Structure 1
Amino acid sequence: MSNSSRRTWLSLLSATALLTLTACGSTKPEPAPLERLSDSAVRVNTVWSKRTGSFFSGANGPVSLAVNKGVVTVANTDGDVLALNVASGQEIWRLRAGSELTAAVGGDGRYAAVVDVNNDLRVFDQGKPIWSEHLPGRVITAPFVAGERVFVQAVDRSVRAYDVLDGRWLWQYQRPGGDALALASPGVVGAWRDTLVVGQGARLVGLDPVKGVPRFDLTVGTPRGSNEVERLADLVGPLTRAADNDICVRAFQLSVACVDVSRGGLKWTRPQAGVQAVAASTSLVVGADGADRLSAWKADSGDIVWRVDRFTHRGLSAPAVVGDRVVTLDNDGYLHVLAAADGRTLTRVELDSGAAAAPVVVDQTILVTTRKGTVYALRLN
């Protein structure tokens, strides 16, 4: 078996191994009951909602929203890709990709990119197919589109760059000496100023988007454990920005950390064995551990602000910070709104199902995708 085949096989194995470990308990923990809430002045208002068809998740791959230039792009289970106006929910364009998808969707407001079950990268210009390219490895992280380039990260952590106009392959990067076992979960691919930022195991690497050469390479955490599964510590996407120069990210089952990318140094790291991405603002970083205990830390120092265990085993999504509130969606479809200052629950509202992706905040509007295929645009009063 070749090294590339072995790495792909091991990355697929990791998901199975983790699911097996999760299922080892004799009984599944009971979700914490919903707390009784008194009347609150906080209201969750639906600006618009749109059914698009069920979003894919789990074995078919995760879904993500691409939001740029007032356009939100999303894809569903059957391979439909559509763009919506963020302010109104009006459909701008829709197309059928031609196959079921494993990674979707990346976009910059004009161009959109997906990867299908045949490992074909497909790129569209305002809803019109312009090119496709067969990829050498499985992809479940949504492509990242920026600067007229498409960046694709495979489950073996390799990153490839293409010209968005004609599909010309530009470069490939993979950090040498990486672990053979990789997490079969969406990784980190994003941008800080003019630098492409990617996860490579438990390291955050900044690449020149033109040449693919490293500009910085930062350790987020040191994996621990007695076997390869226990030592898995890949960075979980999406990453989030705190202050202008600070990026905060989760290392799978290891820690939450913030780095100052302008200085190339780690600001702080705190142990938390979680599996979902974190959220951040200029003052606060919020994340849940594997049992859905929510913690908040000061963004500048990592000092604990509050910790709540009212949502244990409710299957929380990645959170989002909206001004002085924190929101998260549970498996039953309840959107919980907390006070950022102390973690008090202010209100909650029931949507049609649990989250299919991390919530995205755009100009105080919260974009939520549910497993039943609804995109909600919500605002807090």
Structure 2
Amino acid sequence: MRASPETLDTASGRSLPWRGVACALLLAAVTGCSSWGGGSGSGSAKPAPADLGVNVPTLGVRQVWTARIGSVAGLPLAVHTAGPVVTLASADGVLAAIDARTGGDLWRMALGESLSAGVGSDGKSVAVVSRNNALIVVDSGRERWRGALTAQVLTAPLVAGGRVFVLAADRSVAAYDAATGRRLWVLQRPGEPLVLRQAGVLLAVGDTLVAGLSGRLVGIDPDNGSLRWEAPLASARGSNDVERLVELVGRSSRVGDSVCVRSFQATVGAVGCVDTARGVVRWTRAASGAEGVDGDGDAIFGTESNGTVIAWRRSDGTRLWDSDRLKHRKLTAPLLLGRSVVVGDDTGWVHFLSRTDGTPLNRMATDGSGIAAAPTVAADTLVIVTRNGAVGGFRPD
């Protein structure tokens, strides 16, 4: 299913129920407890999703193809796009590269084991991680190598510069030779007892590897793993492990040297932007959500845990607008696409909102199983993946 903070993992990989642990320890004070339904037996009613009303389309959208990948339930799926190629995976280990222009397979293979993270790619090599903590690299539908990891991985590997970079749940970052699988270096930071069962932040910015480690965005030398800078976006606070949990969650928005991300915390989260050329935080704003952000040079957009959609000015974090039309609909991270902000919800609708003020432009139905991953775009085609594994290509006018 689409990753959501309904479970916590220990650093060793043991899962704990988020609803029961967080809400029992923090009672109703935890932001989002009511949105996620409260603990088992709490008696709290799940908020009703906002009524969508009549769809009055002011933006033309048509579905141009459909495909299937298999169920992605339980997999924090990141869909990778490079030119017209869309690479994705199912929870049970089917990998596929799809032509975004037609929806047809370029290649497809079955790994034969369930996945915990994926997919990462440089357009040629594809990297995923299995639930048995194996890093697996595939080239054009053929397995090239696999190697054992010492910790669980929930973030899609980053494939760049002939290397595969892995961000593990124990807050380590490691680099591997993409051709041979040889480990080149590892950066280990002190780990907290609990981690959010959700993909984190891992991307390349120029010649720097940028990763989210707890509440800090860090810049790493990709050649040797040395730390170049740290930018604290959020700090652990509280009297117990759940209260002190803080994570930077994907997706992130990069424009030049500016990288904007969301930090998730049990009490007070934030959205903020970092100048990666200097390694300094430009601004942060309080925000309560567990999905990443998207944007351009003017604005960034995010979805809160209660379904509110918010736009901030990228330069200084000023709030531009917010919309509660999709309240309590459990939204994905957004995608900025032309004049629209695209989000999926837990009932399978894909919503197109005006980037100017959040007013609805159109909405499209899928198979009703819920949107499983943040929307992506390839070859002028919007790509949507549902929890049951339906893949749809849409073209907005």
Using the size of structure 2 for normalisation, the TM-score is 0.88
The amino acid of 2:370's aligned partner reads: G
Take 1:168 and 1:255, find their aligned partners in 2: how far apart are those partners? 37
The amino acid of 1:303's aligned partner reads: T
Take 1:202 and 1:303, find their aligned partners in 2: how far apart are those partners? 22
Q: Which one of the candidate residues 327, 336, 347 is aligned to 2:351? A: 336
Listed as ranges, the matches of 1:210-359 within 5 Å are 210-241=223-254, 243-253=255-265, 254-352=269-367, 353-359=369-375
Listed as ranges, the matches of 1:47-62 within 5 Å are 47-57=64-74, 61-62=75-76
Q: Does 1:125 align with 2:139?
A: yes
Take 2:319 and 2:138, find their aligned partners in 1: how far apart are those partners? 44
Preserved CA contact (<8 Å) 1:32 1:310: no
Q: What is residue 183 of structure 2 aligned with on the other side?
A: 169
Moved more, 157-166 or 225-234: 225-234
Q: What is residue 30 of structure 1 aligned with on the other side?
A: 47
Preserved CA contact (<8 Å) 2:82 2:378: no
The alignment's C-alpha RMSD in Å is 2.0
Take 1:81 and 1:26, find their aligned partners in 2: how far apart are those partners? 41
- 1:367 positional shift: 1.7
Take 2:380 and 2:226, find their aligned partners in 1: how far apart are those partners? 36
Change in 2 beyond 3 A, CA 1:182/1:55: closer
Take 1:69 and 1:343, find their aligned partners in 2: how far apart are those partners? 29
**Secondary structure at the residue paired with 2:96?**
strand
Q: What is residue 3 of structure 1 aligned with on the other side?
A: none
Q: Which one of the candidate residues 181, 193, 200 is aligned to 2:213? A: 200
Listed as ranges, the matches of 1:60-75 within 5 Å are 61-75=75-89
The amino acid of 1:26's aligned partner reads: G
Take 1:251 and 1:200, find their aligned partners in 2: how far apart are those partners? 10
- 1:109 positional shift: 1.3
The structure showing larger relative contact order (alpha-carbon pairs under 8 Å, at least 6 residues apart) is 2
Preserved CA contact (<8 Å) 2:55 2:363: no
Take 1:210 and 1:197, find their aligned partners in 2: how far apart are those partners? 13
C-alpha distance after superposition, 1:219-257 (max 9, x if no partner): 11233333221221210012221x322111000131000
- 1:180 positional shift: 3.7
- 1:103 positional shift: 1.2
Preserved CA contact (<8 Å) 1:233 1:251: yes
**Secondary structure at the residue paired with 1:336?**
strand
Change in 2 beyond 3 A, CA 1:124/1:343: same
Change in 2 beyond 3 A, CA 1:69/1:323: closer
Q: What is residue 378 of structure 1 aligned with on the other side?
A: 394
Q: What is residue 115 of structure 1 aligned with on the other side?
A: 129
- 1:149 positional shift: 0.6
5+ unaligned residues in a row in structure 1: which ranges?
1-6
Runs of 4+ in 1 over 6 A off after TM superposition: none
Preserved CA contact (<8 Å) 1:15 1:183: no
Q: Does 1:155 align with 2:156?
A: no
- 1:11 positional shift: 6.1
Change in 2 beyond 3 A, CA 1:327/1:200: same
5+ unaligned residues in a row in structure 2: which ranges?
1-7, 24-32
Preserved CA contact (<8 Å) 2:66 2:391: yes
**Secondary structure at the residue paired with 2:341?**
strand
Preserved CA contact (<8 Å) 1:46 1:378: yes
- 1:33 positional shift: 3.2
Preserved CA contact (<8 Å) 2:79 2:373: yes
- 1:151 positional shift: 0.9
- Give the share of equivalent positions with the same residue, in percent: 39
Using the size of structure 1 for normalisation, the TM-score is 0.91
Preserved CA contact (<8 Å) 1:55 1:76: yes
Take 1:18 and 1:227, find their aligned partners in 2: how far apart are those partners? 16
The amino acid of 2:250's aligned partner reads: G
Moved more, 15-24 or 41-50: 15-24
Q: What is residue 369 of structure 1 aligned with on the other side?
A: 385
